[in-house]
Amino acid sequence: MRKFKTLSQQVTRPGYSSDSQFACRHCGKRYRWKSTLRRHEQVECGGKEPKYRCPICPYRAKQKGHLSVHQLESFEIQTDEKRFKCPKCTKSYKHKPNLIRHVKYECDGIAHFTCPVCSKAYTQRTSVRQHLRSRHPNCGLVY
């Protein structure tokens, strides 16, 4: 829901209706915002046939994300494919920046980050921050 400072801003803002006057022409569902109705009609309703089918049950979805949520909640199936595979080891990632970080700092096994207090070495900067918080909470360093 959009945030406004005052109620008068809601009433005077174009595309807003306090009584949910914007109705879907396909299913009749009502919305306060014209933009929300538009998204509903384009994505959820719109008279289009769902193009994503569950391979286990009759469930069908118009959005791939909805099918993924259905499979995870109904059958505990994790559908997110880890497409970015490390060329040096067996690890794989859903997001390319995570693979890049892994190859740059972790895969070679070299600890690039060290604790400024005790010199303990880590492969990730966040691990040093966590170490400082837990092992040296009163060291005076900002982490």
35-50, pLDDT tens digit by residue?
888 888 777 776 677 8
Q: What percent of the chain has pLDDT above 70? A: 80
141's CB contacts (< 8 A; 6+ apart) are 116, 117, 132
Residue 67 buriedness (CB in 10 A; 0-12 / 13-18 / 19+): buried
- For the chain, give every domain's residue range: 15-44
Q: Which of 2-6, 46-50, 107-111, 123-127 has the lowest mean pLDDT?
A: 2-6
The mean pLDDT of 51-68, rounded to a whole number, is: 86
Give the span between the Cα atoms of 15 and 5, in whole angstroms.
Answer: 17
The mean pLDDT of 51-59, rounded to a whole number, is: 87
Strand partners, 92: 85
Whether this prediction's pTM lies above 0.85 is answered by no
N-terminal to C-terminal alpha carbon distance within the chain: 35
